[in-house]
Amino acid sequence: MDKMIGVIGGSGVYEIDGLEQAEWTEVETPFGAPSDQILTGVLNGTRMAFLPRHGRGHVHTPSTVPYRANIFAMKVLGVTDLVAVSAVGSLKEAYAPGDFVIIDQYIDRTFAREKTFFGPGLVGHVPFAHPICPVLAEACAQAARMTGVTVHQGGTYVAMEGPQFSTLAESRLYRSWGADVIGMTGMPEAKLAREAELCYACVAMVTDYDCWHPGHDAVDVAQVVAVAVKNAGKARSLVASLPELLAGPKTDCTAGCGHALDSAIMTAPAKYDAEMVAKLKPIMGRVL
Ligand SMILES: CSC[C@H]1O[C@H](OP(=O)(O)O)[C@H](O)[C@@H]1O
Ligand SMILES: Nc1ncnc2[nH]cnc12
């Protein structure tokens, strides 16, 4: 099987460049429609699929992004390697606006979202100690360095519910936890990508210092958008380098992303809910 690279673009990243045979495709899923149509095409010989997380024109809030539909759609289109691009606030002096952070850990503080494909009659628990595919993350780090931006390899992302930005007390609390950046969309995207056995990595573009930094005004949308728009070109060049860095057929990921479901399902086969199985077969057919 050949690799197919999926990209979920965040705030400020609503398109990618240079796709041949580019086509916006409508994909329906048992979890409803994804955030938007998905742009498919070929870049330097590699099949690509691009989805703007908030939809073109930014119509979904972080809480209403249809995360399950998005991941389901990417998987059924044949995506093997999924790169998320996200705007984030910095919780550390050293992670400055304009820098890119290749995320390796998350703290999930979201509470108003569906976080799993599983449900009654089909219960599963995937391993998630290491939420990011290290192989894909390394390719993203290389691609990011090629754009000339400052790249931090590794960072803990606090996913908050939003859509309001944090209070000062919350921002200080997250800093005391040792977290590096904060955003509103990293979860449950990464959890669902793991359940779908995708290799998943996240390139976070720092847009602000949130509200804890004494030398900076509290964050507002104008600041985030100004930096995100300035960085969108770099994010698009990063994506354009991925095909050459990831070239070749898809082999079993050494980190085991493609086998996350091997021992995840708890429900006894005799008790499987037939509707749930039919619903999830397109993305979990390997084990169902
Ligand atoms: C416009 S600031 C808040 C918004 O930006 C980030 O979105 P994304 O991760 O999709 O780039 C952040 O998580 C919020 O959703
Ligand atoms: N400071 C911040 N908090 C949450 N999400 C963000 N996205 C960009 N900046 C952010």
Q: How confident is the model at residue 260 (pLDDT cuts 50, 70, 90)?
A: very high
Q: What is the pLDDT of residues 160-202, one digit of tens each?
A: 999 999 999 999 999 999 999 999 999 999 999 999 999 999 9
Domain that holds residue 271: 4-284
Tell me the best of 7, 8, 11 to mutate to test the pocket of ligand 1, counting ligand atoms within 8 Å of each CB and taking the most.
11
In this structure, what are the phi and psi dihedrals at residue 180, rounded to the nearest 5 degrees? -105, -40
Whether residue 204 has its Cβ less than 6 Å from ligand 2: no
> How far from the centroid of its chain's Cα atoms is residue 210's Cα?
21
- pLDDT for the residue numbered 216: 84
Counting the structural domains of the chain, the total is: 1
Lowest-pLDDT range of 9-18, 29-38, 49-58, 267-276 = 9-18
Whether residue 224 has its Cβ less than 6 Å from ligand 2: yes
Whether the predicted pLDDT of 137 surpasses 90: yes
- pLDDT for the residue numbered 217: 81
| AA letter at 241 | S
Average pLDDT value for the chain: 96
Q: Quick one: average pLDDT of 255-269? A: 97
Whether the predicted pLDDT of 45 surpasses 90: yes
Nearest Cα to Cα of residue 283 among 193, 208, 186, 187: 193
**d(C-alpha 133, C-alpha 202), whole Å:** 9
User: What pTM value is reported for the model?
Assistant: 0.97
Q: Quick one: average pLDDT of 105-110? A: 98
Whether residue 36 has its Cβ less than 6 Å from ligand 2: no
**d(C-alpha 103, C-alpha 154), whole Å:** 5
User: Which residue is it, tokens 């860095």?
Assistant: 245
**d(C-alpha 119, C-alpha 123), whole Å:** 6
Whether residue 165 has its Cβ less than 6 Å from ligand 2: yes
Percent of the chain scoring above 70 in pLDDT: 100
- pLDDT for the residue numbered 112: 97
Which one from 17, 99, 208, 220 is the annotated catalytic residue? 208
Q: Could you confirm whether 210 is annotated as catalytic?
A: yes
Nearest Cα to Cα of residue 7 among 40, 34, 29, 44: 40
- pLDDT for the residue numbered 2: 85
User: What is the number of the ligand 2 atom nearest to the C-alpha of 86?
Assistant: 7
Residue 64 CB partners (closer than 8 Å, separation 6+): none
| AA letter at 249 | P
Whether the predicted pLDDT of 210 surpasses 90: yes
Q: How confident is the model at residue 248 (pLDDT cuts 50, 70, 90)?
A: confident
Q: What is the pLDDT of residues 71-81, one digit of tens each?
A: 999 999 999 99
Q: Quick one: average pLDDT of 95-113? A: 98
Q: What is the CATH number of the domain that holds 170?
A: 3.40.50.1580
Q: How confident is the model at residue 1 (pLDDT cuts 50, 70, 90)?
A: confident
| AA letter at 166 | S
Lowest-pLDDT range of 190-199, 242-251, 262-271 = 242-251
- pLDDT for the residue numbered 17: 87
Pick the residue whose CA is nearest to atom 14 on ligand 1: 184
Which one from 17, 180, 210, 273 is the annotated catalytic residue? 210
Whether the predicted pLDDT of 113 surpasses 90: yes
Q: Could you confirm whether 208 is annotated as catalytic?
A: yes
Whether the predicted pLDDT of 249 surpasses 90: no
